[in-house]
Amino acid sequence: MKKKRVPGPHSLRRRLLLGILLPVALFVGFNTFSLYRQTLNSLNTAYDRTLLASAKSISEQLDVKGYDDDAELRATVPYSALEAFEADNQSQMFYRVSNLRGEMVSGFSDLPVWNGSIPARPPYAALVDFYDDRFRDRDVRVAVLLQPVASSNGRAMAVIQVAETLEVRETLALQILWNTLLRQALLVAVIAFTVVLVVQRATNPVRQLSHQLQARREGDLSPIASPTAPRELQPLIDATNEVMQRLRHLLRHQKRFVRDASHQLRTPLAVLKTQVQSALRGDVEPMQALHEISDTVERATQLANQMLALAKVEQLRQQSAPPITRFDEVLRAVALEISPLIAQRDLDFGIHTEPTYMQAHEWMLRELSRNLLHNAVRHAPEGSELTVDLRTDGRHVALTISDHGPGIDDELATRLFQPFSAGDVRTGSGLGLAICQEIVLALEGSIALTNRFESGRVTGLDAVVRLPLAHPWAENIDTLQAAQSTP
């Protein structure tokens, strides 16, 4: 099967050349045609005057005897009388003199009789008409002059036809046409050369930018510095720099993920290997070894899941236009999921929410809620009070999770948001709050851990998250609100 040929990319230079030269060539062609027509009209006007002069010259050779219908025209016109009006022996002239009844008086009898009419406004001060005809298989231009003839013996009206072949007119018209075409071709050549030169210079910054990018080392994602580039290229350069910045961020995140994964997973795997070897040697009881191995696998699984969650946050961050999600519904669903853990620690749990629409992926809101609630449940004293509050102010949503634990110092509150910085390494991997911070930053919000004071002493810890609400014009929000209000 023959492979279908895929067309190559269009050339910007070719498009510019075609876009400029094609209209110019069309205009030049139309202008040349119009000029040729105007030249023919001008030549006809000039040579028609010669035909009229010839007819008037013939009229001077006429005589009449009798009056009106009884008049008899006589003419003694030698053909040499027309030679003075023939141009360079290139054209020939013919004439015919007749009366108003068409009866021939003198001239060429086979010259067709005039059957036309005098225009209402003749081009000259005479009763004259000009028309094109064929005579002896040649194109001719004919002038018809109605000339009154009077003498002492009579009076009559003579019809004088003078025909001229078109060699001179056509030769001059073609000469003017070729001269015009030569000048127009020269003009098009000058325009084409100018356009090519201008396009070459205009696209030179694009080629320089291309050479600059091709000359870079592999992996060089530094911003493009091109201060001399034209303003039209600046949006492209800015967009390219923005893409490179995102790529640098993704590469840094990928390298950090690989580095952290290799470092953090090495320890539980080494511990697991030691525990297996100890169990094989019989250093510990089988059931005890299995419990220790199970705890190690559980911690390694939790660590791997949290690292994958941290990577997924970055993946979702790159996606545009996230859907509209009900944060209050997600928060209550997460609270229901961890209710067994809340009951196990005998916590006095309370939750208050308002209908809250977020432009965010449901997974992000679910992961944020789960990590914050897990941390709060794990660190809250048994039997104490734990409250969750979700409120909006019209532009932002504030999620506050309050426990009645001992609180934390300021230095630890800042460090806990860094990856693998756990308050108690025995109970956590140090990734929960780091995941929360990455989610909050991806949603353009803020997160903070603040101690709650009463009478000068710490009475608990508040985890406060502030996120922007979805815009009222965001896609699907009207549909969600209508569905929520429907009973």
CATH code, domain carrying 372: 3.30.565.10
Count of domains forming the chain = 3
- Asked whether residue 158 is domain-assigned, the answer is yes
- The whole-angstrom separation of Cα 169 and Cα 131 is 15
Quote the pLDDT of residue 476: 46
User: Which of 301, 317, 333 is where one domain is finished?
Assistant: 317
- Asked whether residue 336 is domain-assigned, the answer is yes
Whether 245 and 97 share a structural domain: no
Whether 350 and 443 share a structural domain: yes
Mark the ranges of the chain whose per-residue pLDDT is less than 70: 1-10, 77-90, 253-268, 299, 302-320, 413-414, 417, 419-431, 471-487
Paired with 402 in beta bridges are 387, 462
Whether 136 and 85 share a structural domain: yes
Quote the pLDDT of residue 24: 84
**Number of C-beta neighbours around residue 247 at 10 A:** 12
Quote the pLDDT of residue 181: 83
Chain-centroid distance, C-alpha 415: 47
Whether 261 and 375 share a structural domain: no
Quote the pLDDT of residue 352: 93
Tell me which amino acid residue 100 is.
Answer: L
- H or E segment and range at residue 82: helix 80-83
- The whole-angstrom separation of Cα 143 and Cα 126 is 11
Whether 276 and 339 share a structural domain: no
φ, ψ for residue 216, nearest 5 deg: -75, 155
- The whole-angstrom separation of Cα 303 and Cα 262 is 12
**Number of C-beta neighbours around residue 453 at 10 A:** 11
User: Which of 175, 204, 220 is where one domain is finished?
Assistant: 175
- Asked whether residue 83 is domain-assigned, the answer is yes
| Three-class HEC string of 112-173 | CCCCCCCCCCCCCCCCEEEEEEEECCEEEEEEEEEEEEEECCEEEEEEEEEEEECHHHHHHH
Quote the pLDDT of residue 425: 43
CB-based contacts of 71, cutoff 8 Å, min separation 6: 64, 65, 99, 154, 155, 156
Whether 368 and 458 share a structural domain: yes
Domain of 418 in residue numbering reads as 324-485
- Asked whether residue 362 is domain-assigned, the answer is yes
- Asked whether residue 136 is domain-assigned, the answer is yes
Judge whether 162 and 111 are in contact, CB under 8 Å.
Answer: no
Whether 333 and 264 share a structural domain: no
Paired with 104 in beta bridges are 98
| Three-class HEC string of 253-276 | HHHHHHHHHHHHHHHHHHHHHHHH
* pLDDT tens sequence across 236-258: 888 888 888 877 777 776 666 66
- The whole-angstrom separation of Cα 466 and Cα 400 is 9
Quote the pLDDT of residue 330: 92
Whether 298 and 360 share a structural domain: no
Whether 349 and 291 share a structural domain: no
Quote the pLDDT of residue 458: 83
DSSP single-letter state for residue 449: E
- Asked whether residue 165 is domain-assigned, the answer is yes
- H or E segment and range at residue 402: strand 396-403
Quote the pLDDT of residue 30: 86
- Which tokens sit at 16? 């510019």
Quote the pLDDT of residue 390: 93
- Asked whether residue 61 is domain-assigned, the answer is yes
Q: What is the CATH number of the domain that holds 95?
A: 3.30.450
Whether 300 and 379 share a structural domain: no
Whether 85 and 101 share a structural domain: yes
Whether 259 and 308 share a structural domain: yes
Task: Look at the block and give the residue holding tokens 């290997």.
Answer: 273
- Asked whether residue 399 is domain-assigned, the answer is yes
User: Which of 175, 193, 222 is where one domain is finished?
Assistant: 175
